[in-house]
Amino acid sequence: MVTPTARRGPENSLQRKDREFIWEVAGDHLHGRRPLATTRIPTAKRRRPLFSHGHGLPPNGIVPHPGIKPNTHEGKPNYNGAPTPPPSPSQSVFVKTQKTRAYSKRFQVKFKRRRQGKTDYRARLRLTNQDKNKYNTPKYRFVVRFTNKDVTAQIVYATIAGDIVMAAAYSHELPRYGLEVGLTNYAAAYCTGLLLARRVLKFRDLDQEYEGNVEASGEDFSVEPSDERRPFRALLDVGLIRTTTGNRVFGALKGALDGGLDIPHSDKRFAGFKKDEKQLDAEVHRKYIYGGHVADYMKTLAEEEPEKYQSHFSEYIKKGIEAGGMEALYKKVHAAIRADPTLAKSTKEPPKTHKRYNLKKLTYEQRKASLVERLNALNSSAGADVDEDDDE
Amino acid sequence: MPAGHGLRSRTRDLFARPFRKKGYIPLTTYLRTYKVGEHVDVKVNGAVHKGMPHKFYHGRTGRVWNVTKRAIGVEINKQVGNRIIRKRIHVRVEHVQPSRCAEEFRLRKVKNDQLKAEAKARGEVISTKRQPAGPKPGFMVEGTTIETVTPIPYDVVNDLKGGY
């Protein structure tokens, strides 16, 4: 068997039976036909001693090539039409899909936070852009984000150095006010928004001035500017959430509004807005604010599917929360929030810092200093008594 | 058809965005504040079509004379014929950068104030004026050997051998 020696032209230097072997191995999808001229067999593979055993099989059989990735072109600008073979089945080892060097050189990455899929820059631009004739006046955003188990509400303003969070409220603080379960539902979002609003107003000494809507009625409530100081104004920042009617984001918004913040809004997206009548049904909205929708579900489940009720609402049952007691519970939470919205300092110790296993990256000054040291050491060891240090 | 001298004529490369910098512009441009009297550079951002200055002003530096909601009024000198006119244009903030032309002056001002304050505390009188670089100081040339160079007598034969 001839060991292939040629570097170029995969089939030129090989005998016919060897060539046919390569086709067999390389192209199961080709069904015995010759591969097209465009199928390149990578040089590295060709130079391995494929035929040294005399059986015509590579030493370890046909293994799928690690790292074959199908070439996706979505969302990549400046793609210059590099040749990309179709994604190969796992058997076909030698045909590798790849992005050419030219493609990578011309590729323009999106902003980091866009790559991570976290920031909508179009929205962010419009939220942070302040009128130039207002100079350094900050433009506050009321940021609401949901994770799987938590609700985050923050008041943020943008600076060149980075965004600064003025105040934040999380739904994992709500146990302090008496709400222990259901921390990501509409009612909890309302509580979080309310907590944030009261916190910010207290921070700015506006909490006596702007009580907001103490009795949550579900109606559309906007703060009235009082005589002395204007209300605290912020703009709702939903992030990447799809703004549908009844989204929890608007629950948080309602909480902040009732708390006394001035946030421009419309009632179109509150839970309970009827598209046909183009009116907000305040009763329905009130129900959602007090967890009425959860209570209803609890009731129906308890009647019809008791096992599911046990599993789904296990935490509620453990804490002894009943469908009927929802409203009273939330009323208590709201009152507790209004009574003391200040942030409680966490009594947890700071997490212990782990030992560093890799080298710490030196700063420019440190690198320069170490270079000077090394050069001085070299000079002195060489015996040269030139008195200058080469710190170029 | 004739060439045409429209507003943006001959700006194909001038207004083009740099390589791999297309698309959304970083938000720092919008977060900067400008006060009346500051110096700014006008540099057109081809991605934003509103509030673009004329191509003449690309690369010019001027002073801010007005600040509006989304734009800055900049006063730039333009030579028209035999005189220089102070032109006042309004430019959106995307096409403007803070200029560093006055930065050195501002830093020097601060440093001079500091030096003067220190000198006053010590009771001295100092001059903080910048001096132009004077002639270099004299120095002795050291470690040299003297090599006397004299002309050698002209040798026709050797010269012609080199080829002519």
Q: Determine the average pLDDT of the residues in A3-26.
A: 53
| Chain A residues within 8 A of B48 when measuring between CB atoms | none
Does A129 contact B30 at a Cβ distance shorter than 8 Å? yes
Given a cut of 80, whether residue A148 has pLDDT beyond it is yes
For A183, residues 6+ apart whose C-beta sits below 8 A from its C-beta are A149, A150, A151, A171, A172, A174
Q: Is A128 on the interface with B (CB under 8 A)?
A: yes
Does B20 contact A131 at a Cβ distance shorter than 8 Å? no
CA gap B45, A334 in Å, rounded = 50
Confidence label for A5 from pLDDT (cuts 50, 70 and 90): very low
Q: Please, what's the b/e burial string for A135-160 (b: 16 or more CB within 10 A of its CB; e: otherwise)?
A: eeeebbbbbbbbeeeebbbbbbbbee
| Chain B residues within 8 A of A133 when measuring between CB atoms | 67-69
Residues of chain B with pLDDT under 50: none
Confidence label for A13 from pLDDT (cuts 50, 70 and 90): low
**pLDDT score at A164:** 94
Given a cut of 50, whether residue A376 has pLDDT beyond it is yes
Q: Report the gap between the CA of B159 and the closest CA in chain A (Å).
A: 46
Does A121 contact B32 at a Cβ distance shorter than 8 Å? no
Topology classification of domain B11-98: SH3 type barrels. (2.30.30)
Q: Report the gap between the CA of A225 and the closest CA in chain B (Å).
A: 24
| Chain B residues within 8 A of A106 when measuring between CB atoms | 20
**Helix/strand/coil for B161:** helix
Given a cut of 70, whether residue A386 has pLDDT beyond it is no
What would the pLDDT profile of A316-355 be if each residue is shown by its tens digit? 999 988 888 899 999 999 999 999 988 888 778 888 888 8
**pLDDT score at A92:** 55
Given a cut of 80, whether residue A188 has pLDDT beyond it is yes
Does B27 contact A77 at a Cβ distance shorter than 8 Å? no
Q: Which residues pair with A165 in a beta bridge?
A: A156
Contact of B128 with B115, CB cutoff 8 Å: yes
Given a cut of 50, whether residue A62 has pLDDT beyond it is no
Confidence label for A224 from pLDDT (cuts 50, 70 and 90): confident
| Chain A residues within 8 A of B35 when measuring between CB atoms | 135
ipTM of the assembly? 0.77
> Which residues of chain B approach chain A closer than 8 Å at the C-beta?
20-24, 26-28, 30-35, 67-72, 93
Does B35 contact A135 at a Cβ distance shorter than 8 Å? yes
CA gap A340, A342 in Å, rounded = 6
Selecting from A78, A132, A158 the residue whose C-beta is nearest the C-beta of B72 gives A132
Q: Determine the average pLDDT of the residues in A61-90.
A: 49
Q: Is A71 on the interface with B (CB under 8 A)?
A: no
More confident position, B143 or A32: B143
Lowest mean pLDDT of A203-207, A380-384, B53-57, B106-110, name the range. Answer: A380-384
Torsion over CA of B83, B89, B95 and B99, rounded to 10 degrees? 60
Q: Which of B21, B28, B31, B90 best probes binding to A when mutated, by most A CB atoms within 10 angstroms?
A: B31
Selecting from B20, B24, B30 the residue whose C-beta is nearest the C-beta of A128 gives B30
Lowest mean pLDDT of A115-124, A274-283, B11-20, name the range. Answer: A274-283
Does B32 contact A78 at a Cβ distance shorter than 8 Å? no
| Chain A residues within 8 A of B31 when measuring between CB atoms | 128, 130, 158-160
| Distance (Å) of CA A243 to CA A143, A149, A236 | 14, 20, 12
- Determine the residue of chain B that is closest to A124 in CA distance: B27
Selecting from A108, A124, A133 the residue whose C-beta is nearest the C-beta of B22 gives A108
**Helix/strand/coil for B76:** strand
CA gap B42, B62 in Å, rounded = 8
| Chain B residues within 8 A of A114 when measuring between CB atoms | 24
Given a cut of 80, whether residue A81 has pLDDT beyond it is no
Give me chain A's average pLDDT, please: 80
Contact of A280 with A273, CB cutoff 8 Å: yes
Domains in chain A, ordered, with CATH? 114-339 (3.30.420.100)
Given a cut of 50, whether residue A58 has pLDDT beyond it is no
**pLDDT score at A355:** 83
| Chain B residues within 8 A of A111 when measuring between CB atoms | 24, 26
Q: Is A121 on the interface with B (CB under 8 A)?
A: yes
CA gap B164, A326 in Å, rounded = 114
Closest to B98 (Cα-Cα) out of B133, B54, B61:
B61
Q: Which of B22, B25, B27, B67 best probes binding to A when mutated, by most A CB atoms within 10 angstroms?
A: B27
A251: Cα separation from own chain's centroid: 21
For B12, residues 6+ apart whose C-beta sits below 8 A from its C-beta are none
What would the pLDDT profile of B17-42 be if each residue is shown by its tens digit? 999 999 989 999 999 999 999 999 99
Given a cut of 70, whether residue A4 has pLDDT beyond it is no
Q: Residue B125: count other Cβ atoms within 10 Å of its Cβ.
A: 8
Q: Report the gap between the CA of A108 and the closest CA in chain B (Å).
A: 5
Lowest mean pLDDT of A32-36, A139-143, A272-276, B28-32, name the range. Answer: A32-36
| Distance (Å) of CA B156 to CA A260, B151, B162, B163, B164 | 108, 15, 11, 12, 12
Amino acid at residue number A252: A
Task: Supply the DSSP symbol for A152.
Answer: E
Q: Determine the average pLDDT of the residues in A150-174.
A: 94
Provide the pairing of β-strand A164-170 with A235-237.
unpaired
Selecting from B23, B26, B69 the residue whose C-beta is nearest the C-beta of A133 gives B69
Confidence label for A214 from pLDDT (cuts 50, 70 and 90): confident
Q: Is A135 on the interface with B (CB under 8 A)?
A: yes
| Chain B residues within 8 A of A121 when measuring between CB atoms | 24, 27
**pLDDT score at A51:** 47
